């Protein structure tokens, strides 16, 4: 299970962290990755001055905008799922 933590502290909330989390969740559902990727919230992740903070596993990012949610998902989340979980994902064809 890959845990994606989206900051829901006040500064990130004002910048649209709820919208970003919704977009990431929509991507998870579109790719049928429920049970393999989970979105959770956390309070201030010490990156307030740089924009919305997101942690993917043990990697932290700052300055993620809601409108970049989909590209962030495909670049930083799908790319970090282990090979086995992609192969076993239902309704998904991947040529490896
Ligand atoms: S409120 Fe999100 S990093 Fe501080």
The domains of the chain, with CATH numbers, are 2-87 (3.40.30.10)
- Looking at residue 40, what is its pLDDT? 97
Please report the DSSP string for 5-70 in residue order.
EEE-SHHHHHTTHHHHHHHHHHHHHHTT-BTTEEEEEES--S-GGGSEEEEETTEEEEEE-GGGHH
Q: Which residues of the chain fall short of a pLDDT of 70?
A: 82-96
- Looking at residue 82, what is its pLDDT? 66
Question: Looking at the whole model, is its pTM more than 0.75?
Answer: yes
Cα of 49 vs centre of ligand 1, distance in Å, is 8
- Looking at residue 88, what is its pLDDT? 45
Tell which atom from ligand 1 comes closest to the C-alpha of 12.
2
Cα of 8 vs centre of ligand 1, distance in Å, is 7
């Amino acid at each position: 299970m890959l845990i994606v933590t989206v900051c829901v502290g006040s500064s990130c909330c004002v910048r649209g962290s709820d919208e970003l989390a919704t977009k990431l969740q929509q991507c998870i559902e579109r790719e049928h990755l429920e049970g393999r990727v989970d979105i959770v919230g956390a309070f201030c992740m010490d990156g307030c001055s740089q924009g919305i903070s997101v942690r993917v596993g043990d990697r932290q990012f700052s300055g993620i905008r809601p409108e970049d949610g989909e590209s962030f998902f495909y670049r930083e989340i799908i790319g970090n799922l282990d090979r086995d979980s992609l192969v076993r994902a239902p309704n998904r064809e991947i040529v490896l």
